[in-house]
């Protein structure tokens, strides 16, 4: 890979290799970490994501069970399933794939997962622990993966100006909370930009690190990036593409081709942040199994 690329696949593979030791230690005590997936409805992207996560569990030797519910499932039915999974001793982690069909309230569902099994880090207890800098909580997988990529690529966050594009609960807000904590691998000055920000370009131009999680195809263009800045692309956007068989293709939130020319470091997309989300999910699940069986 070119020298300024942050290879998410290689770093995720390294993390999974490190986890094999912990999984073997658990197995020696008769414990197989178990992760339950819950998918409601037939959202095509969710099907792909859950499928990839299931495969990663199998490759690491974790147990997984996927519960697929019809789109018409009521919130009460979903909560009943979560209650069963909360009570199941062989299940150490529960992941309810978002987005959930309306009228199911995601906040209610995420709050129903036991915090100790909340390997997504979406329960208010874990969100609160993240804000407080309490490391006993679970951290959301995608921003945790971005931070791990920065640390393992030798990017200094300490004192860095970081712009996080997007204020969602899954990436933007927890990303900002992680980077502004006190600590050598945080200590950043963080600006969150969103749809009501007046001059996003001006904010981005002075950033040492940009985390793009705004959900707009190729939003970050080269003129928005300070030469040498680090650019992390969280986006997954489907756009029309006349040259592909399907008529569409996936692109990130960064105009990769042009931004790559001036960035100090940049994540490819695919092959950057995506594999790290899965690696962090596996890590959280192994940790949940260790904590539950200590």
Question: Which residues contact ligand GUN (rule: CB under 6 A)?
Answer: 95-98, 120, 141-142, 170, 277
For residues 8 and 19, give the distance between their C-alpha atoms in angstroms, rounded to a whole number.
16
Give min distance, CB of 139 to ligand GUN, in A.
11
- Minimum distance from CB of 171 to ligand GUN (Å)? 8
Nearer to ligand GUN, 46 or 191 (CB): 46
Alpha-helical segments (H) within 88-224: 106-112, 124-132, 141-152, 172-179, 200-205
Q: In what order do the strands lie in the sheet with 63-69?
A: 63-69, 34-40, 93-96
Please say which residue, 281 or 292, places its beta carbon nearer to ligand GUN.
281
Residue tagged active-site, from 7, 16, 53, 129: 53
Residue number, 5 or 146, with CB nearest to ligand GUN = 146
Quickly count: other Cβ atoms within 10 Å of residue 237's Cβ: 17
The least CB distance from residue 182 to ligand GUN, in Å, is 26
Q: Is 156 a catalytic residue?
A: no
CB nearest ligand GUN: which residue? Answer: 98
DSSP per-residue letters across 278-294? HHHHHHHHHHHHHHHT-
Q: How far is the CB of 221 from ligand GUN (least distance, A)?
A: 25
How far apart are the C-alpha atoms of 96 and 106, rounded to whole Å?
9
Nearer to ligand GUN, 98 or 151 (CB): 98
Cα distances (angstroms) measured from residue 171 to each of 4, 165, 167, 178 = 24, 10, 7, 10
- 14 part of the active site: no
Determine whether 199 is an active site residue: no
H-helix or E-strand spanning residue 10: helix 8-28
> Exactly one of 118, 120, 208, 233 is catalytic; which is it?
120
Catalytic residues: 53, 97, 120
């Amino acid at each position: 890979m070119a020298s300024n690329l942050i290879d998410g696949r290689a770093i995720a593979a390294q993390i999974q290799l490190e986890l094999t030791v912990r999984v073997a230690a658990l197995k020696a005590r008769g414990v197989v970490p178990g992760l339950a997936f819950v998918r409601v409805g037939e959202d095509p992207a969710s099907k792909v994501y859950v499928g990839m996560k299931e495969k990663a569990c199998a490759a690491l030797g974790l147990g997984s069970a996927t519960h697929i519910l019809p789109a018409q499932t009521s919130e009460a039915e979903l909560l009943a399933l979560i209650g069963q999974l909360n009570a199941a001793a062989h299940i150490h982690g529960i992941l309810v794939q978002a987005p959930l069909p309306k009228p199911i309230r995601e906040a209610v569902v995420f709050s129903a997962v036991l915090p100790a099994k909340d390997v997504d880090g979406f329960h208010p207890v874990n969100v609160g622990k993240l804000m407080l800098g309490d490391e006993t909580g679970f951290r959301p997988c995608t921003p945790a993966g971005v931070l791990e990529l920065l640390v393992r690529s030798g990017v200094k966050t300490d004192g860095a100006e970081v712009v996080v594009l997007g204020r969602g609960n899954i990436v933007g807000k927890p990303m900002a909370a992680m980077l502004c904590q006190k600590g050598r691998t945080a200590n950043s000055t963080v600006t969150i930009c969103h749809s009501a920000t007046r001059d996003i370009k001006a904010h981005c131009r002075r950033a040492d690190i940009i985390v793009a999680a705004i959900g707009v195809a190729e939003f970050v263009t080269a003129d928005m990036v300070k030469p040498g800045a680090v650019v992390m692309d969280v986006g997954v956007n489907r756009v029309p593409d006349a040259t592909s068989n399907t008529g569409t293709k996936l692109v990130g939130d960064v105009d990769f081709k042009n931004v790559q020319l001036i960035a100090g470091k940049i994540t490819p997309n695919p092959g950057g942040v995506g594999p790290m989300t899965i690696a962090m999910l596996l890590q959280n699940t192994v940790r949940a199994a260790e904590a539950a069986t200590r």
